[in-house]
Amino acid sequence: MWKCQNMLRSHVRELLDLHKQPTSEANNAAMFGKLMTIAKNLPDPGKAQDFVKKFNQVLGDDEKLRSQLELLISPTCSCKQADVCVREIARKLANPKQPTNPFLEMVKFLLERIAPVHIDSEAISALVKLMNKSIEGTADDEEEGVSPDSAIRAGLELLKVLSFTHPTAFHSAETYESFLQCLRMDDDKVAEAAIQIFRNTGHRIETDLPQIRSALIPILHQKAKRGTPHQAKQAVHCIHAIFSNKEVQLAQIFEPLSRSLNADVPEQLVTPLVSLGHISMLAPDQFASPMKSVVANFIVKDLLMNDRTNGDKNGKLWSPDEEVSPEVLAKVQAIKLLVRWLLGMKNNQSKSANSTLRLLSAMLVSEGDLTEHKRISKSDMSRLRLAAGGAIMKLAQEPCYHEIITPEQFQLCALVINDECYQVRQIFAQKLHKALVKLQLPLEYMAIFALCAKDPVKERRAHARQCLLKNISIRREYIKQNPMANEKLLSLLPEYVVPYMIHLLAHDPDFTKPQDLDQLRDIKECLWFMLEVLMAKNENNSHMFMKKLCESIKQTRDAQAPDDPKANEKLYTVCDVALCVINSKITITLLDPPKEPMLPSRFFTQPDKDFINDKSYITDETKLHLLTGKPKPTTVLGALNKPLSATGKRPYHRTTVSDTVSNTSVISESDTTLLMQRDSISEVSEIGVSENEEHPVRMISVTPVKCDTVKNKEVISDQISTPTLGTERGKKRPAASPGTENIHKEPEEKKTDDVVPTPPPKRRGRPPKSESQGSAAKNDDSSKPSGRGRKRAAASQDGGAGLDAGNAKVKRKVLNARQK
């Protein structure tokens, strides 16, 4: 509420400033734009536009009315003065001959929204006095059922929010004395909130309140050197915001901290690294050069390239913040320091950004273990992968660094959203959405959300879809409101995400065989995940525009590997899948789009006039199979391999076309009714428990066996080895609850009495493989390289001794059901 009020007050203030300028076409255009913005913040913006224009004419003719409005939006206006101003403006606009005046009602609504009817200096002073009573212990907090500490925290949080929207209301010696008292308290949260209030409101402390300044400086220095990381950040920003001699103050913090860095004591590194990073970002001219030696000699060589402690080998993919080792926390802050240092410089003259991007890419390729000494735990590796991916994304928000991020580095960053760790995927997606919705990231980063179609957790896919809806609507609205945006359509128009998405999917490590139907299904799922949102409305003939984009790509080559026939074949294949999907959704054939689509030169070569690519890279049969949406044939044994959820948590199981099943039997469509009963036919042995902090899930494993064909209903493969769960990134695994896949436990020895083996029925043809042969096939499959930049989930290595009997029992039930 207060944030919206503050924004609307600023719009009205800017409108009044335009009235003070001489009349001109540019001034009139700016005034019209400001009136439209104000009207959008009122009920029924269509009617409000006419009333706002009329009100603007009255303001131009009546100088006294303008002065009353200026007083109303003044930062020093009290609630009593606001009441007088609103009454005076309403009286001047009232018409006694017109009892119901819609124009006056609209003006009153606008005044109520911008008038300080709740918060002024007196209100802030009263809130501070209430907080002081809690600090002194004279308040009735315990009678209200609230502890004094909780009351102080809650009071400061409220004041912190108000400090963003009403900074001038805090300017008094008594108020600041109370906040100084909070800074001296042992509660870290209280001190952090108090520093942020000083940062937001203390711009006149140095000139008006020298005694407060003298008491504040040593406290801020102490917090920047030895406080918590959050306190250190706020202290550095506070010094930079409110003191005129900030260079001297920051130097007094930078020099002792840079000399005292010691990687052997990681517990004492986090706060200094936070302070140094923010100092180098806020004052790059002064500290960029000395920071370069710190980065080269300490950050990279001494800290990031060394593992001093052995990680906990508990198999967890994620640990709570309090359980993360101090060394890894220091490494995460070191990565953030590199980014802040570069963001402060905003240039790549020293090629430091190239070196940093190579370091971050190496960290993603090594799955977080940069030294590859196998001393770091899996949960710590997850933290470092997330930090590296977030760092590349942060650098991409600065244009000078976005230009030097190679397509390979972009693809490594994108693969983080398919990480094996649930929390890594979740936090990375949130950071990605936050930057995109503010239009801080280039458009190609929105294509990363297409990879979320592979996420095995329903909640993550739903979140990604909502992010896409929000981002697309914001970009379209921005183009409508800003006429100048038409010059930057390549970076703003949502439909231009299609070429980036096609290029990203063509370089997906899971897409290795362009004619493989299963892989094409996954590509189609990813394309449709994005296209479904883009094609919800055919605005400005956007459907034909996207079709034209795909056709244009087929007349170019992959700029990442222009002379590689396989890379170009994969690119054209993805284009054909996209065209297949788009053509199936176009209901009305319209003319070509008015503008010829442009393609990003970093990803595609210039079209060759002599090159005509009219070849279809997917067959008509494949197109039909992709469009019918038939799910992948699921085997009976595959039904046994789903995880059993813990009590009170139902796992989500996708039955889409991209589910992968580790089995040798394939059931025909006529047998889908049998799959409905797969819960009742699973008789397998339990091998262990997979758990993530909140949602434990029991995992079961089945060793598939080969059997003969039965009346053409089952297709048996003699050479299929058991795929390990999650060995390929992004393949849709049987979905568990959010986060349940994040634990790897060493497989325990199976108890032979878990399952009572029964003799299998006689079968025709060759006997199944022995257990040793099956395990050999499994080992051969699991020895394949796992791909780039991110750890795959490891599968259990032990098969069930009594599972042949279970498989035979399943086979018998299938035969009995068919005979019935």
Sequential DSSP letters for 722-736: -PPTT-STT-BPPP-
Q: Is the per-residue pLDDT at 329 higher than 50?
A: yes
User: How many whole angstroms separate alpha carbon 309 and alpha carbon 30?
Assistant: 61
**What is the pLDDT at residue 638?**
34
Structure tokens, 165: 């929207």
- Average pLDDT of the segment spanning 307-319: 85
Angle between helices 246-259 and 229-242 (to 10 degrees): 150
pTM of the model: 0.73
- Average pLDDT of the segment spanning 138-144: 75
- Average pLDDT of the segment spanning 393-399: 94
Q: How confident is residue 768, by pLDDT bands cut at 50, 70 and 90?
A: very low
Q: Is the per-residue pLDDT at 747 higher than 90?
A: no
Q: How confident is residue 560, by pLDDT bands cut at 50, 70 and 90?
A: very high
Structure tokens, 459: 């909640």
Higher per-residue pLDDT: 623 or 382 = 382
Q: Is the per-residue pLDDT at 58 higher than 70?
A: yes
**What is the pLDDT at residue 763?**
39
**What is the pLDDT at residue 721?**
39
User: How many whole angstroms separate alpha carbon 580 and alpha carbon 577?
Assistant: 5
Lowest mean pLDDT among 357-371, 548-562, 783-797: 783-797
**What is the pLDDT at residue 283?**
92
Q: Is the per-residue pLDDT at 224 higher than 50?
A: yes
- Average pLDDT of the segment spanning 601-628: 84
User: How many whole angstroms separate alpha carbon 480 and alpha carbon 172?
Assistant: 45
- Average pLDDT of the segment spanning 153-169: 90
Percentage of the chain exceeding pLDDT 70: 75
Distances (CA, A) of 653 to 422, 429, 643: 16, 22, 9
Q: What's phi and psi for 210, nearest 5 deg?
A: -65, -30
- Average pLDDT of the segment spanning 480-507: 86
Q: Is the per-residue pLDDT at 108 higher than 50?
A: yes
Q: How confident is residue 252, by pLDDT bands cut at 50, 70 and 90?
A: very high
- Average pLDDT of the segment spanning 293-316: 88
Task: Report yes or no: 75 and 114 within 8 Å, Cβ to Cβ.
Answer: no
Higher per-residue pLDDT: 766 or 586 = 586
Higher per-residue pLDDT: 42 or 646 = 42
**What is the pLDDT at residue 27?**
85
**What is the pLDDT at residue 118?**
79
Q: Is the per-residue pLDDT at 228 higher than 90?
A: yes
Sheet holding 686-690, edge to edge: 644-645, 697-700, 686-690
User: How many whole angstroms separate alpha carbon 122 and alpha carbon 128?
Assistant: 10
Q: Is the per-residue pLDDT at 630 higher than 90?
A: no
Q: Is the per-residue pLDDT at 476 higher than 80?
A: yes
User: How many whole angstroms separate alpha carbon 687 and alpha carbon 750?
Assistant: 6
- Average pLDDT of the segment spanning 312-331: 89
- List, in order, residues 6 or more apart from 408 with CB less than 8 Å away: 361, 560
Structure tokens, 72: 């109303």
User: How many whole angstroms separate alpha carbon 529 and alpha carbon 444?
Assistant: 16
Q: How confident is residue 604, by pLDDT bands cut at 50, 70 and 90?
A: very high
**What is the pLDDT at residue 742?**
55
Q: What is the mean pLDDT of the chain?
A: 77
Burial tier of 11 (Cβ tally within 10 Å: 0-12, 13-18, 19+): middle
- Average pLDDT of the segment spanning 466-492: 85
Q: Is the per-residue pLDDT at 802 higher than 50?
A: no
**What is the pLDDT at residue 241?**
92
Task: Write the DSSP symbol of residue 116.
Answer: -
**What is the pLDDT at residue 680?**
38
In which residue are the tokens 């108890």 written? 751
Q: pLDDT tens digits, residue range 537-555?
A: 887 788 888 888 998 999 9
Q: How confident is residue 213, by pLDDT bands cut at 50, 70 and 90?
A: very high
Q: Is the per-residue pLDDT at 759 higher than 70?
A: no
**What is the pLDDT at residue 755?**
40
Task: Report yes or no: 503 and 407 within 8 Å, Cβ to Cβ.
Answer: yes
Positive or negative: CA dihedral 268, 271, 274, 280: negative
In the 3-class helix/strand/coil scheme, how is 639-669 assigned residue by residue? Answer: HHCCCEECCCCCCCCCCCCCECCCCCCCECH
Higher per-residue pLDDT: 87 or 413 = 413
What is the chain's length? 820
**What is the pLDDT at residue 798?**
40
Type and span of the H or E element at 462: helix 458-481
Pinpoint the alpha helices (H) of 509-632: 517-534, 542-553, 565-585, 620-628
Query: In this structure, how many other beta carbons lie within 10 angstroms of the beta carbon of residue 769?
Result: 18
Q: pLDDT tens digits, residue range 582-594?
A: 988 877 655 565 5
Higher per-residue pLDDT: 778 or 530 = 530
Higher per-residue pLDDT: 719 or 26 = 26
Mean pLDDT is highest, among 245-259, 309-323, 782-796, for 245-259
**What is the pLDDT at residue 450?**
95
Q: pLDDT tens digits, residue range 260-284?
A: 899 888 889 999 999 999 999 999 9
